[in-house]
């Protein structure tokens, strides 16, 4: 039988074989997918090498401090605040922070003597034990226990409400005085109550003569103090005035001191022979320990600032000196009627007496002791609500020691910030030199708090953070490391006539004045003229030129000068309205410029001034020091100023005629209220009426918030496209200089770009004369491009990318060999960042190429944007440029350049924290700062390579010689209760932790 094969079947065989050959093709698709996934995993690994979000350190002064503690053996300072945070500070760079789980204020902080543990008391009556545990060669602050006193069933809460805490010198006991008058003895660090050692109110009452108990209730335990020469004895001070010396070993009272005035504090003198008590009537008394008759209170009583009624002396300290009379220090005691609003600490030694007049309410103070036997008082450390003040007690005149950290950033309210990375050493040294000339009134003594070791490497570069303030000052801060150190302070007020009263200095002491006041501290929230407020700053680190712009439309150009100079600053008025009809400005007037020459100290000195008309707040500012040009913008338009020839180059009005808010200036009402309130407060201070300081602060804060919201915050918009009739559409949000292609693709030219609140981008071509004729021939500008974004969202950033996709370098950066020259051969791209999207256009045709939409269902808006370089953590040679973005949700994004793709996203700031989002500033190396309170910057890092964070070690201190006197009490309690010394326990905990880590490994 023959087999017949039709042609079709024969043709199918190749087809079949072809279909078989598709199997390798399927494998190829798999390979591509694997390759793509492999590329994605490689990309993920690359992201891990480049990006990592971490909040690293808090700079500034803790907001609302409520408690102060100090460990002489560790030389560490502790501050607790009302939000439940506890912060420890030692030598510069040694910082720790802990946060209680409970949202309650820290009311007391006590270090256990000669140990690395401390105890905090919160206002919810809970006690917490913290330790500095060593981990991988660094110390970390950890909470290791919590405790709350429990009274007998049915007992009122006052029985166990803790009012006084004594950390006993044995390091094993806490004595807790309560509102009910009882004293509880608790073993630490285990927080075990030793009931048989408790001191009940009945025991105390039975030891006091009946005639004293019969006429008054003892009230709460106000103070607990240990006898410095006999740790078995403590003095218990009760609110009504009675003081009992109690023997802990014999468990009985050995002396009672029947004071009759309300008790505020007690102090046991160094030799153990006297007890000092301070009282609510402004008096203090000295009582002899062991005396037979202690009823002659009048003979021992002293009212330092009597005879009129005085405020309470809240704390008193007396310390001996090696060769001279002792120091007596106390807080309060001022005459109630005349100086009841003053916050004072009085220092008396021999015949010298000074009332240190501080800037806000005193929280607490302590004295650091120095000398061969650590007995001589060397420094007084005072914590007040708004700053930390340290007084040198060993130098004549008792000058202030400048603080390397905890500096009050908000001495005047912060209004803007500007960060500059990698400062050249020459500029750095000149700024430092100018700052040192301002600090001649400070003590030459080194910082006295020196605990711990700073193990952080030296900063790889010098960074500056500039903060603008409401009083017209600009502060320069060393932001290279963990400590935000003050370098130099620039004041712009001298250029103008202000509302300041030259005689308005309430704290200026006069010869023979009583009390002998001396003002200390730098916190001053009162601005003499809010129009001075700094709104924008731009510093060129290569040329030393600085420009600052203010609330009343003033733009100052300054140059760094190492010598003092007397000069006149002439104002150049710029009319941004350009003849707009029907405009009526109801806002504040412009500042009056001084016509006479002004002597400017060494540092940044103004030589040019531009005054915008109308004098609205400056909303955008940029400086090009190579071209000698400054661009500025307000809600009415923008201008370009040649500060070499002191001429206006360009004026462009962007005002929409229908924009009533910008035309009528509705801010005047708020500002006039604010100004009148300030003047009223100053009058009240001058007349010395007692005004609650917190009320003044709250009123100022509310008005500041309202003003900032009305002036700077754009009107909330919907996600969809919006009408051009919206308010503030002409407000200039961003200005940018670029040397790029505007007319054709073969000739690059200088240009100025401006973005507005209405989604409009203006580009102007600039013609600069040759260098040899720069001083004579004018700079000209002509319109080149105009882009209107369809969705009309505000333009918050403009960046030009060169042919390699890299952002253009800063002015003079290439000339200083700190950046490569931009690629001028390939085509450039324009990146326009609006609140809702990132859009890339080609240049010079300005045709849309790609875009990335940010807006989603959550309604995100871009609030801050900056270009940063992210270096790899593994390879020194690799890095990428990226766009760092902060949204109104508080999220941080990194967008790739030039591809405009989302790289990473991290939550950073609470979306409700509008002021924190508005204050954010980025660095050029992937870090950033934002205000977490009026006085504190939170620092964060998005980079794996550039991270600034505390790295420090605190070791367990060795017992000093005089601590051996504590052994009898320690041995007695150890034998009775099996108590382990907590120094040993701390070491034991560290050993256990190390062994556990070894097991995990």
DSSP 973: H
Residues 6+ apart with CB under 8 A from 203: 251, 252, 253
- How sure is the predictor about 704, in pLDDT bands with cuts at 50, 70 and 90? low
- What pLDDT, on the 0 to 100 scale, is given for residue 396? 93
- What pLDDT, on the 0 to 100 scale, is given for residue 998? 54
What CATH number has the domain spanning 732-952? 2.40.128.630
- How sure is the predictor about 666, in pLDDT bands with cuts at 50, 70 and 90? very low
Q: CA–CA separation, 932 vs 540, rounded Å? A: 28
Label residues 776-792 b or e (16+ Cβ within 10 Å = b).
eeebebeebbebebebb
Q: CA–CA separation, 635 vs 661, rounded Å? A: 10
What dihedral angle (degrees, nearest 10) is formed by the CA atoms of 317, 319, 324, 329?
Answer: -20
- How sure is the predictor about 939, in pLDDT bands with cuts at 50, 70 and 90? very high
Question: Kind and range of the H or E element at 106?
Answer: strand 106-111
- How sure is the predictor about 443, in pLDDT bands with cuts at 50, 70 and 90? very high
Q: CA–CA separation, 606 vs 560, rounded Å? A: 9
My answer on whether omega of the bond before 980 falls inside 30° of 0, hence cis, is no
- What pLDDT, on the 0 to 100 scale, is given for residue 664? 52
pLDDT mean across residues, the chain:
85
Mean pLDDT across 826-846: 93
Domain chopping of the chain, boundaries: 62-148, 453-657, 732-952
Query: N- to C-terminal Cα distance for the chain?
Result: 79
Mean pLDDT across 86-110: 96
Stated pTM of the model: 0.86
CA distances from 685 to 338, 514, 521 (A): 11, 18, 17
Mean pLDDT across 6-24: 35
Question: Kind and range of the H or E element at 35?
Answer: helix 7-50
Percent of the chain with pLDDT over 70: 81
CA distances from 566 to 371, 610, 651, 841 (A): 47, 20, 31, 49
* Mean pLDDT lowest among 49-58, 518-527, 529-538, 542-551: 518-527
DSSP 873: S
Mind listing the pLDDT tens digit for each residue in 354-367? 999 999 999 999 99
Mean pLDDT across 883-899: 95
Name which residue leads in pLDDT, 654 or 3.
654
- What pLDDT, on the 0 to 100 scale, is given for residue 353? 95
**3-class SS string, 697-720:** HHHHHHHHHHHHHHHHCCCCCCCC
Report residue 441: phi and psi, to 5°. Answer: -80, -10
- What pLDDT, on the 0 to 100 scale, is given for residue 856? 55
Q: How far is CA 106 from the centre of its chain?
A: 20
E runs forming strands in 873-961: 879-887, 891-896, 902-907, 921-922, 927-933, 936-943, 952-953
Q: Is the pLDDT of residue 342 over 60?
A: yes
Name which residue leads in pLDDT, 309 or 151.
309
- What pLDDT, on the 0 to 100 scale, is given for residue 734? 98
Smallest Cα–Cα separation from 897: which of 840, 843, 845?
Answer: 840
- Bridge partners (DSSP) of residue 961 are none
Question: Residue ranges of the alpha helices (H) in 169-294?
Answer: 201-206, 210-215
Cα torsion angle, 187, 190, 196, 201, sign: positive
CA distances from 14 to 5, 22, 24, 70, 527 (A): 14, 12, 16, 91, 92
Q: CA–CA separation, 646 vs 643, rounded Å? A: 4
Mean pLDDT across 890-917: 95
Question: Residue ranges of the alpha helices (H) in 360-484?
Answer: 425-438
- How sure is the predictor about 837, in pLDDT bands with cuts at 50, 70 and 90? very high
Whether 835 contacts 861, CB under 8 Å: yes
Half-sphere exposure (Cβ direction) of 664: Cα atoms closer than 13 Å: 7
* Mean pLDDT lowest among 78-87, 208-217, 534-543: 208-217
Mean pLDDT across 118-142: 96
- What pLDDT, on the 0 to 100 scale, is given for residue 691? 41
- What pLDDT, on the 0 to 100 scale, is given for residue 994? 55
CA distances from 626 to 382, 421, 567, 768, 781 (A): 48, 19, 24, 11, 17
Q: CA–CA separation, 599 vs 517, rounded Å? A: 30
Smallest Cα–Cα separation from 62: which of 28, 32, 98?
Answer: 98
- Bridge partners (DSSP) of residue 751 are 738, 765
- What pLDDT, on the 0 to 100 scale, is given for residue 40? 57
Structure tokens at 361: 């309410």
- Bridge partners (DSSP) of residue 309 are none
Q: CA–CA separation, 713 vs 728, rounded Å? A: 10
Mean pLDDT across 755-776: 95
Q: CA–CA separation, 672 vs 676, rounded Å? A: 6
Structure tokens at 961: 């010689």
Smallest Cα–Cα separation from 494: which of 601, 415, 588?
Answer: 601
- What pLDDT, on the 0 to 100 scale, is given for residue 9? 35
* Mean pLDDT lowest among 15-19, 483-487, 870-874: 15-19
Residues 6+ apart with CB under 8 A from 86: 78, 79, 80, 97, 98, 99, 100, 106, 109, 120, 130, 141
- How sure is the predictor about 19, in pLDDT bands with cuts at 50, 70 and 90? very low
Q: How far is CA 874 from the centre of its chain?
A: 32
Mind listing the pLDDT tens digit for each residue in 381-421? 999 999 999 999 999 999 999 999 999 999 999 999 999 99
Q: CA–CA separation, 198 vs 186, rounded Å? A: 9
- How sure is the predictor about 218, in pLDDT bands with cuts at 50, 70 and 90? confident
Q: Is the pLDDT of residue 330 over 80?
A: yes
Mean pLDDT across 521-529: 86
Over its C-alpha atoms, the chain yields an Rg (Å, rounded) of 34
- How sure is the predictor about 669, in pLDDT bands with cuts at 50, 70 and 90? very low
3-state helix, strand, coil in the chain (%, to 5): 20, 40, 40
Q: Is the pLDDT of residue 718 over 60?
A: no
Q: Is the pLDDT of residue 283 over 60?
A: yes
What dihedral angle (degrees, nearest 10) is formed by the CA atoms of 56, 58, 64, 70?
Answer: 90
Q: CA–CA separation, 609 vs 620, rounded Å? A: 16
Structure tokens at 579: 């003849």
DSSP 959-971: PPGGGGGGHHHHH
Q: CA–CA separation, 617 vs 554, rounded Å? A: 8
Longest dimension (CA), the chain: 144
* Mean pLDDT lowest among 232-241, 504-513, 733-742, 856-865: 504-513
Smallest Cα–Cα separation from 30: which of 40, 38, 21, 20?
Answer: 38
- What pLDDT, on the 0 to 100 scale, is given for residue 686? 40
- How sure is the predictor about 216, in pLDDT bands with cuts at 50, 70 and 90? low
Percent of the chain with pLDDT over 90: 68
Scan for tokens 């501080």, then name that residue: 358
Smallest Cα–Cα separation from 449: which of 114, 96, 72, 110?
Answer: 72
Q: CA–CA separation, 105 vs 65, rounded Å? A: 9
Highest mean pLDDT, choosing among 672-676, 701-705, 865-869: 865-869
Q: CA–CA separation, 475 vs 487, rounded Å? A: 8
Other C-beta atoms lying within 10 Å of the C-beta of residue 598: 17
Residues 6+ apart with CB under 8 A from 863: 796, 835, 886, 887, 888, 917, 918, 920
Other C-beta atoms lying within 10 Å of the C-beta of residue 703: 18
In the structure, how many helices (H) and strands (E) does the chain have? 12, 63
E runs forming strands in 183-292: 183-187, 192-193, 221-227, 230-238, 242-247, 252-258, 263-268, 274-279, 284-288
Other C-beta atoms lying within 10 Å of the C-beta of residue 627: 19
Q: Is the pLDDT of residue 436 over 70?
A: yes
Whether 276 contacts 286, CB under 8 Å: yes
DSSP 77-92: EEEEETTSEEEEE-ST
- What pLDDT, on the 0 to 100 scale, is given for residue 370? 85
Smallest Cα–Cα separation from 141: which of 63, 102, 73, 89?
Answer: 89
- What pLDDT, on the 0 to 100 scale, is given for residue 205? 87
Q: Is the pLDDT of residue 550 over 50?
A: yes
Smallest Cα–Cα separation from 204: which of 254, 162, 241?
Answer: 254
Q: Is the pLDDT of residue 712 over 90?
A: no
Whether 413 contacts 704, CB under 8 Å: yes
Three-point CA angle 982, 987, 992, nearest 5°: 120
């Amino acid at each position: 039988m023959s087999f017949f094969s039709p042609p079709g079947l024969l043709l199918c065989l190749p087809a079949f074989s072809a279909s078989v050959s598709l199997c390798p093709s399927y494998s190829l698709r798999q390979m591509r997918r694997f390759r793509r996934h492999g590329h994605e995993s490689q990309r993920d690994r690359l992201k891990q090498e480049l990006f990592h979000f971490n909040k690293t350190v808090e700079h500034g002064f803790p907001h609302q401090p409520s408690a102060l503690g100090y460990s002489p053996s560790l030389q560490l300072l502790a501050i607790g605040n009302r939000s439940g945070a506890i912060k420890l500070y030692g030598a510069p760079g040694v910082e720790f922070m802990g946060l209680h789980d409970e949202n309650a204020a820290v009311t007391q902080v006590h270090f256990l003597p000669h140990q690395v543990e401390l105890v905090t008391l919160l206002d919810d009556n809970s006690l917490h034990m913290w330790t500095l545990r060593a981990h991988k060669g660094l110390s970390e602050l950890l909470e290791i226990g919590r405790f709350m006193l429990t009274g007998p069933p049915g007992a009122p809460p006052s029985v166990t409400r803790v009012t006084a805490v004594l950390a006993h010198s044995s390091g094993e006991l806490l004595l807790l005085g309560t509102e009910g008058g009882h004293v509880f003895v608790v073993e630490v660090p285990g927080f075990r109550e030793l009931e048989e050692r408790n001191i009940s109110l009945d025991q105390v009452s039975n030891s006091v003569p009946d005639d004293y108990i019969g006429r008054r209730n003892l009230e709460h335990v106000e103070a607990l103090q240990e006898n410095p020469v006999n740790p078995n004895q403590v003095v218990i001070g009760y609110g009504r005035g009675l003081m009992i010396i109690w023997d802990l070993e014999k468990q009985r009272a050995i002396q009672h001191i029947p004071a009759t005035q309300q008790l505020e504090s007690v102090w046991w003198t160094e030799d153990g022979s006297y007890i000092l008590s301070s009282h609510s009537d402004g008096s203090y008394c000295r009582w002899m320990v062991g005396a037979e008759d202690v009823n002659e209170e009048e003979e021992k009583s002293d009212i330092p600032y009597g005879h009129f009624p005085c405020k309470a002396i809240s704390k008193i300290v007396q310390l001996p000196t090696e060769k001279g009379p002792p120091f007596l220090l106390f807080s309060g005691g001022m005459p109630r009627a005349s100086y009841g609003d003053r916050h004072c600490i009085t220092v008396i030694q021999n015949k010298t007496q000074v009332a240190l007049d501080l800037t806000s309410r005193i929280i607490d103070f302590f004295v650091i002791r120095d000398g061969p036997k650590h007995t001589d008082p060397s420094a007084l450390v005072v914590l007040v609500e708004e700053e930390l003040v340290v007084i040198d007690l060993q130098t004549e005149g008792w000058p202030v020691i400048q603080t390397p950290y905890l500096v009050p950033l908000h001495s005047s309210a912060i209004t803007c910030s500007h960060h500059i990375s990698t400062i050249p050493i020459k500029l750095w040294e000149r700024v430092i030199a100018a700052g040192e000339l301002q600090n001649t009134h400070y003590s030459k003594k080194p910082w006295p708090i020196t605990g711990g070791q700073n193990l952080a490497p030296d900063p790889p570069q010098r960074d500056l953070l500039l903060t603008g303030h409401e009083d017209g000052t600009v502060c320069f801060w060393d932001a290279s490391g963990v400590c935000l150190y003050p370098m130099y302070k620039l004041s712009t007020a001298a250029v103008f006539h202000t509302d300041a009263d030259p005689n308005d200095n309430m704290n200026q002491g006069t010869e023979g004045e009583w009390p002998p006041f001396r003002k200390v501290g730098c916190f001053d929230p009162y601005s003499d003229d809010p129009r001075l407020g700094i709104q924008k700053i731009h510093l060129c680190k290569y040329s030393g030129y600085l420009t600052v712009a203010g609330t009343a439309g003033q733009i100052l150009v300054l140059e760094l000068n190492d010598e003092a100079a007397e000069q006149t600053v002439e104002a150049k008025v710029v009319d941004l309205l350009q003849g707009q009809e029907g405009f009526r400005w109801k806002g504040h007037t412009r500042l009056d410029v001084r016509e006479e020459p002004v002597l400017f100290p060494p540092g940044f000195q103004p030589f040019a001034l531009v005054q915008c008309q109308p004098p609205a707040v400056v909303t955008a500012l940029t400086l090009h020091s190579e071209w000698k040009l400054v661009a500025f913008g307000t809600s009415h338009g923008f201008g370009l100023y040649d500060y070499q020839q002191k001429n206006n180059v360009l004026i462009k009005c962007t005002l929409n005629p229908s924009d009533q808010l910008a035309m009528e200036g509705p801010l005047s009402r708020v500002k006039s209220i604010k100004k009148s309130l300030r003047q009223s407060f100053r009058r009240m201070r001058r007349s010395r009426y007692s005004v609650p300081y917190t009320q003044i602060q709250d009123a100022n804060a509310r008005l500041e918030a309202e003003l900032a919201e009305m002036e700077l915050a754009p009107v909330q918009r919907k996600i969809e496209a919006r009408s051009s009739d919206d308010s503030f559409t002409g407000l200039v949000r961003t200005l940018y200089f670029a040397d790029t292609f505007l007319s054709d693709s073969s000739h690059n030219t200088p240009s100025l770009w401006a973005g507005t609140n209405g989604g409009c981008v203006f580009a102007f071509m600039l013609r600069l004369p040759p260098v040899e004729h720069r001083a004579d021939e004018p700079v000209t500008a002509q319109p080149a491009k105009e882009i209107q974004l369809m969705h009309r969202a505000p333009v918050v950033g403009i960046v030009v990318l060169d042919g390699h996709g890299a952002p253009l370098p800063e002015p003079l950066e290439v000339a200083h060999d700190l950046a490569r020259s931009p690629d001028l051969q390939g085509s450039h791209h324009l990146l326009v960042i609006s609140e809702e999207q990132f859009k890339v256009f080609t240049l010079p045709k300005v045709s849309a190429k790609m875009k990335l939409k940010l807006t989603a269902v959550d309604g995100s808006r871009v609030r801050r944007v900056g270009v940063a370089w992210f270096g790899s953590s593994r390879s020194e040679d690799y890095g990428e440029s990226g766009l760092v973005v902060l949204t109104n949700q508080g999220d941080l994004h990194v967008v790739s350049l030039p591809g405009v793709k989302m790289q990473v996203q991290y939550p950073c700031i609470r979306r409700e924290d509008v002021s924190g989002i508005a204050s954010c500033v980025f660095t050029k190396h992937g870090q950033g700062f934002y205000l977490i309170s009026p006085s504190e910057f939170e620092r964060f890092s998005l980079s794996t390579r550039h991270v600034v964070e505390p790295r420090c070690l605190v070791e367990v201190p060795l017992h000093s010689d005089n601590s051996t006197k504590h052994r009898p009490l320690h041995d007695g309690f150890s034998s009775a209760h099996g108590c382990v010394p907590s120094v040993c326990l701390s070491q034991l905990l560290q050993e256990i932790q190390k062994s556990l880590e070894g097991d995990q490994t």
